[in-house]
Amino acid sequence: MKQVIHILATSPLPEGGEARIKAISDQFKLTVTRASQPEDIPDSTWESVNVLYTWNVLPDPAKAPNLKWVQFRSAGVDSHLDHPLLRDGDVTITSMSGVITSQIAEYVLMAMLAFGQKLPKLLRHQQAHHWPEPKEKWRDFMPVELRHSTVGILGYGSIGRQVARLLQPFGATVLAAKKDAMHPEDTGYTREGMGDPHGEFFNRLYPIEALHSLLEESDFVVMALPLTDATHHILDARAFESMKDSAYLINVGRGELIDEEALVQALKSKLIAGAAMDVFEEEPLPEDSPLWDMENVIISPHISGISPHLDAETLDLFIENLNRYLAELPLYNQVDLRQGY
């Protein structure tokens, strides 16, 4: 008799999701219980669960002795690294990296085009009902064209690779930096027709230690690194000094990747031309943050990854991993707890 595998989902699945999971194998017993904290799940359920599908509801390891695998519905797990379940290292952890890369990459492209085509300044002129004189147009609205630009991508994971893919028709020069520059291919989860699985869409690949060389050449700098001890405040005052005074920064990674005080000073002193920030060191961004009132800053409230397709595409990854779990194949997006991603 085949062993029953008890799956617990801590939030409702998209339409047809339960049927899709049950159709994979009669070994699966699925329980769906809406929960925002571990106490919302009965102890008897925790005791029997083998596979957990969740945003952030994690049990005490003693209450879930049979738990073998947690599939997170988020790409980053840095906020959970101190949880005993992850610290113990006895449970396989997988992320949803590679799922919402398309939307985040579109946000990055939006920010590049907005800065390059002077959209913030155009909107201020519109609000003031001001039509600029010809000399003013040539002075204030000269575009930064992507086909003549160099884009530096810090973190060549699923998001960075999709950004590089979207930049191909524009003809930009793409510089990318990743921890292991000797292996440009992507072995993680990639949806068909997306990303850069074979490492073909950059012009140069740098080790992360060559960060400042990449910054010196880039007209746009895209932050898509995971947050670890090594990447915390990786963009500091010295890094901003390395950037062009005409360069724009776009952060869709984690707020803590950037020393925000150093960023504010770099913007005020015009060490860099502007920044589009979707993530911040403190969220919500405090009302007294000087970033709110800077004309060369685009602020969004951590929304670059929201999508009407998020639930369905996350489930696609989970189902792919469930099939691999049954076949005893390596799961996609296994988190290396020593590295934190």
Q: What pLDDT, on the 0 to 100 scale, is given for residue 1?
A: 63
Output helix, strand, coil percentages for the chain, rounded to the nearest 5. Answer: 35, 15, 50
Cα–Cα distance measured from residue 91 to residue 93, given in angstroms and rounded to the nearest whole number: 6
| Confidence band, pLDDT 50/70/90 cuts, at residue 281 | very high
Residue bearing the bigger pLDDT, 100 or 156: 156
Residue 208 clears pLDDT 90, i.e. is over it: yes
DSSP conformational letter for 286:
P
104 pLDDT above the threshold of 70: yes
Which domains does the chain possess?
Answer: 5-97+308-326 (3.40.50.720), 101-299 (3.40.50.720)
Give the tokens for residue 77: 């797990």
Residue 189 pLDDT level (bands cut at 50, 70, 90): very high
Q: Could you tell me what percent of the chain has a pLDDT over 90?
A: 96
Query: The pTM is what?
Result: 0.95
Long-range contacts of 256-262 (CB under 8 A, 24+ apart): 256/227, 256/232, 256/281, 257/223, 257/225, 257/227, 257/231, 257/232, 257/233, 258/223, 258/233, 258/234, 259/233, 259/235, 260/289, 260/291, 262/233, 262/235, 262/236, 262/237
Say which residue the tokens 């029997």 belong to: 48
For the segment 311-322, what is each residue's pLDDT rounded down to a tens digit? 999 999 999 999
Tokens of 317: 């990854």
31 is written with which tokens? 């329980």
What pLDDT, on a 0 to 100 scale, did the predictor assign at position 100? 87
Mean pLDDT of the chain: 96
pLDDT band at 88 (very low <50, low <70, confident <90, very high): confident
pLDDT of residue 89: 85
pLDDT, tens digit, for every residue of 243-254?
A: 999 999 999 999
pLDDT tens column, 7-54 = 999 999 999 999 999 999 999 999 999 999 999 999 999 999 999 999
pLDDT at 24: 97
Long-range contacts of 12-19 (CB under 8 A, 24+ apart): 13/311, 13/315, 14/311, 14/312, 14/315, 17/311, 17/315
**pLDDT at 215 > cutoff 80:** yes
